[in-house]
Amino acid sequence: MTVKKNNVIFIMGVSGCGKTTIGNLLAESLRIPFFDGDDFHSQANVDKMSNGIPLNDEDRYGWLQTLNGLAKEQLEKQSCIIVCSALKQSYRDLLSQGIEKHTKWVHLAGTFDQIEARINNRSDHFMSSALLQSQFDTLEQPTDALTIDISLKPEDIVEKIREEIDMKSEFGLFGLGVMGKSLSRNLANNGFRVSLFNRHVDGLEEDVAVNFKNEHEELASALAFDDIEAFVNSLQRPRKIMLMVNAGKTIDIVIDLLMPHLSEGDIIIDGGNSNYNKTKARFEYLKAKQMHFIGTGVSGGEEGALKGPSIMPSGAKEAYKNVQPYLETIAAKDENKLPCCTYVGPEGSGHFVKMVHNGIEYAEMQLLAEVFSILSATGKDPDEIADILEGWKVTANSYLLEITVDILRKKENKDWLIHKILDKAGNKGTGNWATIATAQLGAPSTMMASALFARYISFYKDDRVEAQQHYGSHNDLSLEVSSEALLNTYQFARIINHHQGFGLIQQASGTYHWNINLSELARIWTGGCIIKSSLMVELVEILKDTDSILKSETIIKQIKALKPDANKVVSECILNELPVPCLSEALNFFNAFTTADSSANIIQAQRDYFGAHTYQRTDDGSGKFYHTNWSE
């Protein structure tokens, strides 16, 4: 069902810009109520002003709150217009608090001379040049307003505002693939008016936007296009255009197609799985043109996009403010009803965390695949395995566990579908990038690398078949693994996986000065996304106290309880030649990470031996580097 959204139009600008005249005319034309902010001052403020004492921020605070309350009250019933100078951003933030998605700003802008001349022409009004100057000094230009030149005739100004606010769309969706379509419907279901664009390709993609609009009731007020210029012109300024096209070169091509039609302050949002380095470059490119680029991770697949995905946006903070009401409204909600969307950090940080999300996802998926192969090796069929995994939901629930249970139960002609699926795993690149990043940053996220390489090994199907003929099969297994021990092993490995993933983000955040809040990130991953789980919910609290999961007291206790089973299960698998790359990597990483005195001294000695790379000594705490002439 479509929700009709009421809006409050705030008309702002310095004294004398014509707010009241325009506000009245606009209200008349739109047939909605008009309120002059000045009529809502407290008696104390009125007394102060009539004694010629200028109001300070404290005086204004209560007044702005009153106006915010008025707006909220009106919104319950209908749209309305409120005029108020609102010169500072902090005033505007107060006015729109809690009603951000219902707020539209119009800034009536003129030069000092223009406004001074106007005021002095009015018989009933006087303002000294100094007072007017102080208004201009206080004015902080809004980035999210429709700015109108006051030299236009009042009726033309009203027409312009109507055209922009009443006729144009609030948000643009570029690219109507599966994700683009679902996000558009999600926006429309939340009462936003959207413009939809899909390219025209003869015989292949014809009238995609129009047909899509006509198929869905909630898109009744949406505008549909296959012409870029018309699409851009259909959007309120600053324009907000979300690209849902293939990551890679297509993004640059689309930016170049849009560019000639965009204006200063417009915002392009890339919601695909783009490489974070590319996002940084695009962010800089648009910044040089006084435009904004927001790279955002979006997780949750088709259903998430429609009903509430997890959203990971990054870029300039002021640009984020403009898209915040849209993204936070359509995002999934966490257990406290807060949106699973938060400002991640500057430039490419949103796509970086989405890339790591996918790295964690790869390892979580691989762990379940390994669990499946262990349980299969103990002679269980998919239904029996599904029953066991069903029981794990009590302590180890996750979206991926849930879908794996469903997958295992799915039958086709009395046989399990899983038996018919070719064992060659695909990938679209994010796991590969995450592994490159982990190597580049020197932050060992070894499990995502193992999971990625397990997919690559799987891809060599023909070679595997041939190799099995050379070396014999591993089918005569005598695995002794209880499902309880396996659950503990699985949970152990998942903790290591999350430790590594968040560790990689922490490292990047420090290196690139992104200042990412890990707990907040875990929070937006508790809903809507592929790696949502009960463990993630636990991590929200844990990451408030530490940025290294393995250092948490709660986790130390859990690991100590789980580890003995992990040792046994992984050893059993290795003795029985059952490949468990991710489970064993969890153990190997943990053992290395918890070894105070490692064998890296041998590496240092070897490096110094053949390359004079020097080493530090354990008996010299100064950190000095030594070289030994090893052949003497």
Locate all alpha helices (DSSP H) within 289-340, ordered by sequence. Answer: 301-307, 317-330
Sorted by sequence, the CB contacts under 8 Å of residue 421 that are 6+ apart come out as none
Locate all alpha helices (DSSP H) within 54-177, ordered by sequence. Answer: 57-77, 89-96, 112-121, 129-138, 154-161
Q: Of the two residues 273 and 324, which places its CB atom closer to ligand 6PG in the complex?
A: 273
Closest CB 222 distance from ligand 6PG, rounded Å: 24
Closest residue to ligand 6PG, judged by C-beta, is 299
Q: Which of 80, 529, 559, 562 binds ligand 6PG (CB under 6 A)?
A: 529
Q: Which of 349, 332, 369, 389 is nearest to 536 (CA)?
A: 332
Residue type at 9?
I
Assigned token pair, 494: 């998942």
Q: Which of 55, 54, 14, 20 is nearest to 37 (CA)?
A: 20
Closest CB 81 distance from ligand 6PG, rounded Å: 41
Q: Of the two residues 157 and 312, which places its CB atom closer to ligand 6PG in the complex?
A: 312
| Touching ligand 6PG, residues 358-397 (CB under 6 A) | 358, 361
| From 347, 361, 364, 370, active-site residue | 361
Q: Which of 184, 299, 324, 488 binds ligand 6PG (CB under 6 A)?
A: 299
Closest CB 270 distance from ligand 6PG, rounded Å: 13
Closest CB 22 distance from ligand 6PG, rounded Å: 46
- Taking CB under 6 A as the rule, does residue 431 contact ligand 6PG? yes
Percent of the chain that is helix, strand, coil (3-state, to 5): 55, 10, 30
Sorted by sequence, the CB contacts under 8 Å of residue 128 that are 6+ apart come out as none
Closest CB 625 distance from ligand 6PG, rounded Å: 42
Closest CB 354 distance from ligand 6PG, rounded Å: 7
Closest CB 362 distance from ligand 6PG, rounded Å: 7
Q: Of the two residues 2 and 427, which places its CB atom closer to ligand 6PG in the complex?
A: 427
Sheet with 145-149, strands from edge to edge, namely 34-36, 80-83, 8-12, 103-109, 145-149
Determine contact, residues 330/187, Cβ cutoff 8 Å. Answer: yes
Q: Of the two residues 69 and 429, which places its CB atom closer to ligand 6PG in the complex?
A: 429
- Taking CB under 6 A as the rule, does residue 246 contact ligand 6PG? no
As a whole number of angstroms, the distance between CA 193 and CA 221 comes to 6
| Touching ligand 6PG, residues 53-112 (CB under 6 A) | none
Q: How many residues bind ligand 6PG (CB under 6 A)?
A: 13
Q: Which of 186, 273, 324, 500 binds ligand 6PG (CB under 6 A)?
A: 273
Closest CB 301 distance from ligand 6PG, rounded Å: 5
DSSP characters over 331-390: S-B-TTS-BSB---BSTTHHHHHHHHHHHHHHHHHHHHHHHHHHHHHTT--HHHHHHHHH
How crowded is the C-beta side of 45, counted as CA atoms within 13 Å? Answer: 17
As a whole number of angstroms, the distance between CA 225 and CA 174 comes to 10
Annotation says 321 is catalytic? no
Q: Contact region for ligand 6PG (CB under 6 A) — 233-241, 284-292, 295-303, 569-577? A: 295-303
- Taking CB under 6 A as the rule, does residue 552 contact ligand 6PG? no
Q: Contact region for ligand 6PG (CB under 6 A) — 83-91, 161-169, 216-224, 297-305? A: 297-305
- The counts of H helices and E strands in the chain are 26, 16
Q: Of the two residues 319 and 529, which places its CB atom closer to ligand 6PG in the complex?
A: 529
Annotation says 354 is catalytic? yes
**213 by DSSP, 3-state: which?**
helix
Q: Which of 172, 175, 176 is nearest to 216 (CA)?
A: 176
| From 354, 364, 532, 538, active-site residue | 354
- 238 upstream amide cis, omega within 30 of 0: yes
Binding mask 319-358 for ligand 6PG (x = CB under 6 A): ---------------------------------------x
- Beta-strand runs (E) in 524-583: none
Q: Of the two residues 117 and 403, which places its CB atom closer to ligand 6PG in the complex?
A: 403
Binding mask 401-430 for ligand 6PG (x = CB under 6 A): -------------------------xxx-x
Q: Which of 177, 301, 510, 579 binds ligand 6PG (CB under 6 A)?
A: 301
Binding site for ligand 6PG (CB under 6 A): 273, 299-301, 358, 361, 426-428, 430-431, 529-530
The catalytic residue positions are 354, 361
